[in-house]
Amino acid sequence: MAFNKIFLLLFMLVLMCSCNNKSSTVETNNTNNAPEVLNKPQGKLFIIGGGKRPPEMIKELLKISDFNSEAYLVILPMASQEPDSAIYYASKQFKNLGIDSKRIKGFNFEKGIENKVWIDSLKKANIIYISGGDQTKFMDVVLNTPLYDGLHEAYNKGATIAGTSAGAAVMSDKMITGNEYKHKEYTGDFRTIESKNIEISQGLGFLKHAIIDQHFVKRMRMNRLISIAIEYPNETAIGIDESTAIIVEGDSVKVTGKSQVIVIKNPQKSMETRNGLLGADQLELSVKLPGSTFAF
């Protein structure tokens, strides 16, 4: 009888140890999964199609960025031919809403791409605002530099990256430069839907599965976006009109502002080329109004 009791106690101890080991294994697995969550960017993108920025739009930018009394923002003017003017006008839209000038920093990295103080400051900003101008000029300054890495570190930690016009184009991994291979003289018109015509180069890469076009409805850029959707079927082609923006958080997108956003997808990866002209079947086209949402 005593032997049976001892055997029963030993069996219970073995069972308890086994349960504890299983519990420990689960906790270890959860810990191993944690970095995957942490590696996802914590920031947001506020991508403006150019033109005037209504006060309501800038207020929304401040709101989604949790711009409290201790926050500050950084303006990057390197897309502009007149960086000082770009900083002035970008600052003004925030000052008009009561933001103290001491909380607005303008860094022209053309004059100091290795400036560690500026980069450290940028990494801690709540908002990083990229002005309009020439997106290729901006990327010529930024690509393969500590500033590029600093922008991604800030975004990963929770900063809102905002940009207008050229500052919108740079957001995607594949960036529309504005140039055409087959029509060298820039006119602002995109009159054809041709293969191998629209020049694409490296952008900042915050958007991995979308390509951004700007001033979209105002400047009638549908031909360009259709060409992009056909030739880059793995990307969502997004055209943002003036005074309009998209707010990107993860894979979720919200439209805000005064006009429309055009979204074109090519889910069938359809493409036909004949005499240099592009053709495709079953493209998906949506016209999104302010307040609408969609996903990549």
DSSP string computed for the chain: -HHHHHHHHHHHHHHHHHHHHHHHHHHHHHHHHHHHHHTS---EEEEE-SS---HHHHHHHHHHTT--TT--EEEE-TTSSSHHHHHHHHHHHHHTTT--GGGEEE--GGG-TT-HHHHHHHHT-SEEEE-SS-HHHHHHHHTTSHHHHHHHHHHHHTPEEEEETHHHHTTBSEEEEEEESS--S--S-----BTT-EEEEE---SBSSEEEE-STTTTT-HHHHHHHHHH-TTSEEEEE-TTEEEEEETTEEEEEESS-EEEEE-TT---EEETTEEE-S--EEEEEPTT-EEE-
Q: Please tell me the total count of domains within the chain.
A: 1
Let me know if residue 8 belongs to a domain.
Answer: no
Question: Above pLDDT 70, what percent of the chain?
Answer: 87
| pLDDT digits 0-9 by tens, 157-194 | 999 999 999 999 999 999 999 999 999 887 778 999 99
pLDDT at 17: 43
| pLDDT digits 0-9 by tens, 224-267 | 999 999 999 999 999 999 999 999 999 899 999 999 999 999 99
Let me know if residue 10 belongs to a domain.
Answer: no
Confidence tier at 3 by pLDDT (50, 70, 90): very low
pLDDT at 115: 93
Let me know if residue 191 belongs to a domain.
Answer: yes
Q: Is the pLDDT of residue 42 over 50?
A: yes
| Angle CA 242–244–246, to nearest 5 | 130
> What pTM did the predictor assign?
0.86
| pLDDT digits 0-9 by tens, 121-155 | 999 999 999 999 999 999 999 999 999 999 999 99
- List, in sequence order, every residue forming a beta bridge with 128; answer none if it has no partner: 74, 161
Domain that holds residue 184: 39-295
Let me know if residue 23 belongs to a domain.
Answer: no
Let me know if residue 5 belongs to a domain.
Answer: no
pLDDT at 262: 98
Q: Is the pLDDT of residue 29 over 60?
A: no
pLDDT at 18: 44
CA distance 223 to 194: 9
Confidence tier at 68 by pLDDT (50, 70, 90): very high
Confidence tier at 33 by pLDDT (50, 70, 90): very low
Region 68-79 average pLDDT: 96
pLDDT at 184: 85
pLDDT at 174: 98
CA distance 150 to 122: 7
Confidence tier at 23 by pLDDT (50, 70, 90): very low
pLDDT at 108: 97
Q: Is the pLDDT of residue 109 over 90?
A: yes
CATH number at residue 246: 3.40.50.880
pLDDT at 16: 45
Confidence tier at 15 by pLDDT (50, 70, 90): very low
Region 62-86 average pLDDT: 97
Let me know if residue 21 belongs to a domain.
Answer: no
Let me know if residue 29 belongs to a domain.
Answer: no
Let me know if residue 17 belongs to a domain.
Answer: no
Rounded to the nearest integer, the mean pLDDT of the chain is: 89
pLDDT at 296: 85
Q: Is the pLDDT of residue 28 over 80?
A: no
